[in-house]
Structure formats: C-alpha cells, structure tokens
C-alpha cells in the first residue's frame, strides 16, 4: 500500500481534480491524502477572522462567495445528474454548517472547525467523482483516526490502532481517500496539524500503515540542487538522505517542512516528491540511504544577523558560552550558526526582534560587534569528515567572495558559509558552477 498526497494547487480546479483521479487510479492500493482546494483555507481563515471581529455580515458574504465558487466547481467536475445533486446537497449542508457559526459565540474551538472544512469539501468532491467513474473508492474520515496527544504532538500509536481498525472495517477497496491537515486533539476536539499540515498527515499515515512509499505530489519536479529563481542550470535532485532533506528544508528549500518527514524517516519509508504536471519525471526520492561522498545541493537563508563577542575572559575559561547562550534563551531567540575561537564566539540569528536587548546584555561579557544583512549559504550532501575534498571544493567556489563565518562539523551533511546578502547570488551561482558541473 502506498500513500499519495496532493496539495492545494493539485486539486485547485475541477480539471486538476480529474487529473488527480487518473494518477491515483494506477491499479495499486493507495491511501490518498488531499489538501483543500488552493485558496480555500485562506478564505476560511478570513471567515473566522470576521467572526472574531464580531462581523457576521462580513463572514456571511465571504461564505456566500465561497459557496458559489464550489457550486460551479461541482457543476464542472461531475456529469451525472444524480452525482451532481448528491454533491451539491453535500456542499449546501457544509456551507449551512459554516453559516451556523455566524450566530453563536465564537472561540478558538469554532475556528478550528471552520478552517478544517476545506479538506472535507475537496475529499468529498474527489470521492464522488471517482465513484461516478466507477472506481472502487472508500472515504476514511481523518477525524476518526488522526489525533494529537496532550503536548499537541501526533499520537502515532493511537493513529496506528485506529487506522488499522478503520481499514479492517472497510476492506478490499482500491483507493482510500482521506483529509490532510485536520485531526482531533487529546480531548477529542477538532484541531489541525498547522498550515501546510497535509504533508504531515501523509507522513503519519505512511508510518502508521507501514506503507511501501509516501508520494508528495506538487507542481514542481522535486527538490532542486540550487535556487532556480537565482541560479542558471539547476536540476532536480534524484536522491536525498532524510538528514539532507531536513537541512535543505531548514535552509530555505520550501518544498517540505523537516518535521513533516520525521515519521517517515523513523519508520524508514521513502518519501517521493513528484510533479502532477509531469507525472513520469523521476522527481526526488528521500530515504535513509546515503550516496557516498556526493554533494547534493546548495541552499540559502536570508535576513541573517551575525553577532560577535570577543573577550580575553573567554581564554581558558569555562562557563562563558553558557552565559552567552542564556541571554539568547531569555529573549527566545534561536541561534543558527556558531563559530568559536579561543577568545571569541560568533553566532547568527534570523530574528532581530530583541537584538538591541541581547546586545545590551552581551556587552557585560565582552566586545560586541554586529554584521547585518547577511545570508547563510549551505552546501548539503554526504560530508562525513573522513571524506576528503568537499571543503576545498566549496571554498574554491567562494574564492572571490568575502566569507564572514564558516561552520562544519555540526552534522555530516552540511557545511555553512555566512556571506553578505549582496554576495548571495554570486555565491550560489559559483557553487553551482563548481559543484554540479556535469
Ligand atoms: N489546507 C491546509 C493549508 O492550506 C493544509 C495543507 O494544504 O497542507 O495550510
Ligand atoms: Mg499546501
């Protein structure tokens, strides 16, 4: 059994939904996770916002406009009068449910219900379309099995048990459709896995049913080895280790959030990033396999500030770093890169909200210097320390670029360089030219 997840743009129009229906009817047994049609979750959040602001007219108008869009979608998606009517009735019921929230009190609890309706709508439409096409399809309501624990973390044991039961109670179907994003919390209330959470849903289901693979379908052909908006000649990466994907996710490759693939990683299930516009393209496979010695990608993180603290008191002293880090902790500011010498330490942050206060406190410990408008450039691959040559290949590429910090050794998969934001494009291009020549 494999898991196939389609994001908002992949189900964004009736035509795209029909295309998705084709892709999932591949003769294999699939659990299909769908997002809301693109734009819908944002509109639902807008509706909730009107209700928070005690403006039921604003909410009602937005609901009406959204409903009329969905009625048109249904008319374009389905062809038999019976299935059209059945789906329109469902849409009517759903939107009446939304309207019911404009009357009573409005809290976070109601908001959670509202923002989750997009997935209920899209899954219902695709299921009905598949039924109309004669597919052997079954709906698995996410609210019946997807659950978080008291810490707000997915409760994998619960999910595994419930989903196994649900599949056993509905055996023999070719396609199982379910909602991404939505879940219940530890108290059984409707909740969600945060914006973009459908990827998380797919990964959790994959781990729960021990799927053969998890496919994440978007409209790009996998992760690229550099930023295609900036660099000429980037190409999709055929294969990434989970750790490499996590590094890239953090450093700006927006395609997959690192926490979303965690369950798949622990369960050792490969995650494939595929393109609905070009379904036969190989895409990117993320797994626990390493390609020895290979540099995979370059990524950048913008809006970085470097802070340098030098103090002769650090010389041969212990406890100095703790004092420095405690200041960042007090101001809830996370540190990205660190470099130390015997008399100083440089760190980078991407959240400047408390910069002045942090600097003020750091001055108790030494001389403080700030460099703003910086950019972290990271090179990702199998960079195990016994491998030779990758450090020189990367630094050779940056030979003409002033480098403020270099960090290696935090993981076997990343070497990071801090450069001026104004040198970012040049650095990315040069790294691509040197590292991915062939
Ligand atoms: N529909 C939700 C969102 O827009 C979840 C998702 O698309 O993954 O954030
Ligand atoms: Mg999305």
pLDDT tens figures, 24-55: 999 999 999 999 999 999 999 999 999 999 99
Q: How far is the CA of 7 from the centre of ligand 2 (A)?
A: 5
Segment-wise mean pLDDT, segments of 10 residues, the chain, 438 residues? 97 98 97 98 98 97 98 98 98 98 94 98 98 98 98 97 98 98 98 94 98 94 90 93 86 70 94 94 94 94 96 79 95 96 93 98 95 97 94 96 96 96 98 90
Tell me the best of 32, 33, 35, 38 to mutate to test the pocket of ligand 1, counting ligand atoms within 8 Å of each CB and taking the most: 35
Which residue(s) pair with 271 in the sheet? Answer: 214, 286
Q: How far is the CA of 13 from the centre of ligand 2 (A)?
A: 14
**Residues 40 and 34 sit within 8 Å (Cβ to Cβ):** no
Q: What per-residue confidence (pLDDT) applies to 346? A: 97
Q: What per-residue confidence (pLDDT) applies to 252? A: 59
* Pocket-forming residues, ligand 1, beta carbon under 6 Å: 7-8, 35-36, 41, 118, 180-181, 195-198
Q: How far is the CA of 115 from the centre of ligand 1 (A)?
A: 9
Using CA atoms, how far apart are residues 190 and 239, in angstroms rounded to an integer? Answer: 37
- The number of helix segments (H) and strand segments (E) in the chain equals 14, 16
Q: Which atom of ligand 1 is nearest the CA belonging to 195?
A: 9
Residue nearest to atom 6 of ligand 1 (CA): 196
Q: What per-residue confidence (pLDDT) applies to 137? A: 98
Domain 296-435 matching CATH 3.30.2130.10: the answer reads yes
**Residues 1 and 29 sit within 8 Å (Cβ to Cβ):** yes
Residue nearest to atom 5 of ligand 1 (CA): 196
Q: What per-residue confidence (pLDDT) applies to 253? A: 57
Using CA atoms, how far apart are residues 379 and 393, in angstroms rounded to an integer? Answer: 11
Q: How far is the CA of 325 from the centre of ligand 2 (A)?
A: 35
Q: How far is the CA of 196 from the centre of ligand 2 (A)?
A: 5
What CATH architecture does domain 2-219 belong to? Answer: 3-Layer(aba) Sandwich (3.40)
Which among 213, 182, 169 is positioned nearest to 3, based on CA atoms?
213
Q: Which atom of ligand 1 is nearest the CA belonging to 118?
A: 1
Q: At what angle do helices 14-24 and 117-132 cross, to 10 degrees?
A: 60
Report the relative pairing of strands 367-381 and 295-310 from DSSP bridges.
antiparallel
- Please say whether the dihedral angle defined by the alpha carbons of residues 411, 414, 416 and 422, taken in this order, is positive or negative: negative
Q: Is 289 left (phi over 0), alpha (psi -120 to 50) or beta?
A: beta
**Residues 431 and 299 sit within 8 Å (Cβ to Cβ):** no
Residue 271: strand, helix, or coil: strand
Q: Which atom of ligand 1 is nearest the CA belonging to 193?
A: 5
What is the reported pTM? Answer: 0.89
Tell me the best of 41, 43, 191 to mutate to test the pocket of ligand 1, counting ligand atoms within 8 Å of each CB and taking the most: 41
Q: How far is the CA of 242 from the centre of ligand 1 (A)?
A: 22
Q: How far is the CA of 370 from the centre of ligand 2 (A)?
A: 37
Question: What are the sequence ranges of the domains in the chain?
Answer: 2-219, 296-435
Residue nearest to atom 8 of ligand 1 (CA): 196
């Amino acid at each position: 059994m494999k898991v196939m997840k389609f994001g908002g743009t992949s189900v964004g129009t009736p035509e795209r939904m029909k295309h998705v229906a084709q892709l999932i009817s591949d003769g294999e047994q699939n659990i299909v996770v769908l997002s809301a049609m693109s734009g819908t979750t944002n509109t639902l959040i807008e509706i909730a916002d009107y209700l928070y602001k005690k403006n039921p007219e604003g909410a009602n108008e937005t609901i009406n406009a959204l409903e009329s869009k969905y009625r048109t979608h249904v008319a374009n998606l389905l062809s038999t009068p019976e299935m059209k009517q059945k789906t329109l009735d469902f849409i009517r019921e759903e939107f009446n449910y939304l309207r019911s929230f404009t009357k009573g009190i409005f809290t976070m609890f109601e908001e959670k219900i509202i923002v989750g309706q997009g997935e209920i709508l899209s899954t219902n439409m695709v299921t009905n379309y598949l039924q109309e096409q004669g597919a052997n399809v079954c709906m698995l309501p996410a609210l019946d099995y997807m659950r978080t624990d008291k810490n707000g973390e997915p409760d994998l044991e619960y999910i595994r048990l419930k989903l196994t039961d649900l599949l056993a109670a509905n055996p023999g179907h070719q396609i199982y459709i379910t909602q991404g994003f939505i879940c219940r919390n530890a108290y059984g209330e409707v909740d969600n896995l945060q914006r973009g959470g459908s990827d998380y849903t797919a990964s959790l289901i994959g781990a729960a049913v021990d799927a053969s693979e998890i496919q994440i379908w978007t409209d790009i052909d996998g992760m690229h080895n550099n930023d295609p908006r900036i660099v000429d000649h980037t190409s999709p990466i055929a294969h990434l280790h989970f750790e490499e994907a996590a590094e890239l996710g953090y450093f700006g490759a927006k395609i997959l959030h690192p926490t979303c693939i965690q369950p798949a990683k622990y369960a050792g299930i490969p995650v494939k990033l595929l393109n609905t516009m070009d379904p036969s393209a190989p895409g990117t496979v993320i797994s626990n396999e390493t390609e020895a010695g290979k540099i995979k990608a370059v990524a950048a993180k913008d809006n970085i500030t470097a802070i340098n603290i030098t103090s002769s008191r650090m010389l041969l002293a212990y406890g100095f770093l703790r004092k420095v880090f405690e200041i960042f902790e007090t101001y809830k500011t996370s540190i990205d890169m660190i470099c130390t010498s015997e008399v100083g330490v440089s760190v980078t942050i991407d959240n400047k909200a408390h910069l002045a206060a942090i600097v003020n406190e750091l001055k108790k410990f030494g001389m403080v210097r700030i460099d703003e408008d910086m950019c972290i450039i990271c090179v990702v691959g199998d960079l195990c320390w016994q491998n030779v040559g990758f450090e020189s290949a990367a630094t050779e590429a940056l030979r003409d670029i002033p480098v403020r910090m270099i960090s290696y050794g935090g993981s076997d998969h990343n070497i990071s360089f801090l450069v001026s934001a104004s040198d970012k494009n040049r650095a990315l291009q040069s790294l691509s030219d040197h590292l991915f020549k062939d």
